[in-house]
Structure 1
Amino acid sequence: MKYAQPDRRPAVITGASSGIGAETAKALATAGLPVALGARRLDRVEEIAAAIRADGGEAVAHPLDVTSDESVAEFAAKAVADLGEIEVVVSNAG
């Protein structure tokens, strides 16, 4: 498989406000991937994204409710606008 940007593999993580989702976001960021964190608890994903940025990673946070098609579409559009084409999806919400 050929990647458009081999050194940059943006990732999205749903359910990233706590637990496995938060830890996965941190691990991916530590590995050098830019990450978009999504969850209903925007305050929590913003805190986690800020911590990732403080550690030198690239992270953004956006609200996401996976039970809403509109919310999923808005999250995806914002993640792509912020990070570029998404190559990794961790579907953790739920």
Structure 2
Amino acid sequence: MQKNPMMDALFKQAGKQAGVSADQVKQSVNSGDFSNLLRAMKPEDAKRFSQAVNNPELAKQILSSPQAQALLRRFSQGGGSNGGLG
């Protein structure tokens, strides 16, 4: 699998938010098992995450939000030395 700096930055940011390593996030995404991430999250965040993962329409709505679109634009443009993370 090729190294993708944009995905690495996303894994790093997601890990930071969930309180786990970027490698744990990547492993969860690759395996489809998010149980470790869910245990590390605040209960309300874990509930929202589970709802989005299990509901494609809700995930689509979230990704269509202005905030998500702005974040995706920052990542797609490179956003500087930290991969577009502010």
TM-score over 0.5 for the pair: no
Q: What is the TM-score of this pair, normalised by structure 1?
A: 0.30
Larger Rg: 2
Return the structure number with greater helix share.
2
Which is bigger in relative contact order (C-alpha 8 A, separation at least 6)?
A: 1
Return the structure number with greater strand share.
1
